Amino acid sequence: MTVKPLHLLTAVASLFLTTSISTADHPGRKSLADKHGPAGIAGDHVHEKGEWMVEYKYMNMYMEDNRIGDRTVSDSEAIAFGATSSPMTNRMAAPTQMTMEMHMTHVMYGATDNVTLYTMLMLPSLTMDHIRGPMNPAGAGTEFTTHNSGFGDTALGALLRLYSTQRCDWILNLGGTVPTGDIFRTSSTPTAGMMSQALPYPMRLGSGTFNARPGMTVRYFADDWSWGGQVQSDLPMGKNYRDYRLGAEVRLNTWTQYLVCDAFALSLRGEHVWRDNIDGADPQTPDAGISTNVESFRGGYWYNLGIGGQLNWKGNYLNMEIVPTLAQDLDGIQLETDYSIIASWSRAF
């Protein structure tokens, strides 16, 4: 699957620019429970000059069963597919389940009324279950689990409010990530201690590259509801020291929030995700070993639906979403995504 991020960004921005937005006066409207977007959205608001905001965000993504394109397959089918796929794979093991947890600390500062600076520290915790394949010296059909955790890549950037009224905001995100996450660790667990192997791509803590993350957000606030749209990208710059780069990614989100009362809102969000395959290859990740090492089996398309709520209570902002994946079409064979849970607490001062 080929993604053209800059073309898509231009198309979506053109769509936003044709949107008619009311400028009716409604003092204080942007300070209610829907002042921030749903929990899965970032970079959707700015702060006044001199104002700080601190946020803790938690995300848990759960994946189970393999998928070939848009079809779910059994563990035995995943191993059998690897015998005839190009390239051949899953001879040593096949993944069966994965949990991706992420702890995030987010700090924002209003440099001016229209420019907000931000940084985010990330602590991923990755656990993957497997079934051993026919060429594994530890015994075909047996199971094992690998785990990896530590610091991930660090995000930083600036949010620029390009246009604002009492009813709407247009915000440009000029951000990126710094490669602070470890991308090469080994484990002897797959072969029951007989030999050490590099952990596959999805089990690595960072990208190993500096990544640009340009994006654009538009918000519109009516009396008792609000609407938002955002396009965000992740564009790796060059290759890392292991001689590869992760695929470019584009995310398109639209959402609606309804004010139950001034302090509480409900939200519904739709998210499209397009991701390219990995470019290059780590020399110590043989394709035949496991499908999570195959660079051409990392891209695809996902559609997620976020259902959530926001509570603005005594200066504390609580935000939560449950996000099932409703559709996905994956390159090669990959673990399919079932759902995510996202929750955050933040406070401005």
Does an H or E element contain 192, and which? Answer: none
pLDDT at position 227 over 70: yes
pLDDT at position 12 over 60: no
Beta bridge partners of 304: 271, 325
Provide the pLDDT for residue 87. 96
Cβ(310)–Cβ(36) under 8 Å? Answer: yes
Nearest to 150 by CA among 207, 205, 208: 205
Q: What is the dihedral of CA 283, 285, 286, 291, to 10 degrees?
A: -140
Provide the pLDDT for residue 54. 98
Strand 168-178 to strand 154-164: parallel, antiparallel, or no bridges (unpaired)? Answer: antiparallel
pLDDT at position 297 over 60: yes
Q: What is the pLDDT of residues 51-86, one digit of tens each?
A: 999 999 999 999 999 999 999 999 999 999 999 999
Q: What is the DSSP string of 130-143?
A: EEE-TT-TT-TT-E
Give 193's pLDDT tier (boundaries 50, 70, 90).
Answer: confident
Higher pLDDT, 25 or 258: 258
pLDDT at position 19 over 70: no
Query: What mean pLDDT comes out for the span 305-311?
Result: 98
Out of 28-32, 144-148, 342-346, least confident range:
28-32
For Cα atoms 38, 179, 273, give the angle at the middle one, nearest 5 degrees.
Answer: 40
Helices (H), the chain: 5-17, 75-84
CA 316 vs. chain centroid, Å, equals 25
Give 194's pLDDT tier (boundaries 50, 70, 90).
Answer: confident
Share above pLDDT 90 across residues of the chain, in percent, rounded to a whole number: 89
pLDDT at position 105 over 50: yes
Q: What is the pLDDT of residues 142-159, one digit of tens each?
A: 999 999 999 999 999 999
Provide the pLDDT for residue 79. 97
Q: Mean pLDDT over all residues of the chain?
A: 92
Residues 6+ apart with CB under 8 A from 333: 66, 67, 68, 73, 78, 81, 82, 85, 89, 90, 291, 297
Give 28's pLDDT tier (boundaries 50, 70, 90).
Answer: confident
Tell me the one-letter amino acid at 135: M
In the chain the domains, ranked by start, together with CATH numbers, are: 5-348 (2.40.160.40)
pLDDT at position 7 over 90: no
pLDDT at position 341 over 60: yes
Nearest to 300 by CA among 272, 322, 270: 272
pLDDT at position 41 over 90: yes
Query: What mean pLDDT comes out for the span 202-227?
Result: 98
Query: What mean pLDDT comes out for the span 127-152?
Result: 96
Q: What is the pLDDT of residues 240-292, one digit of tens each?
A: 999 999 999 999 999 999 999 999 999 999 999 999 999 999 999 999 999 99
Provide the pLDDT for residue 13. 40
Quick check: pTM over 0.85? yes
Query: What mean pLDDT comes out for the span 16-20?
Result: 35
Give 21's pLDDT tier (boundaries 50, 70, 90).
Answer: very low
Give 27's pLDDT tier (boundaries 50, 70, 90).
Answer: low
Give the residue carrying structure tokens 């609407």: 227
Query: What mean pLDDT comes out for the span 306-326?
Result: 97
Rounded (to 5) percent helix, strand, coil in the chain? 10, 55, 35
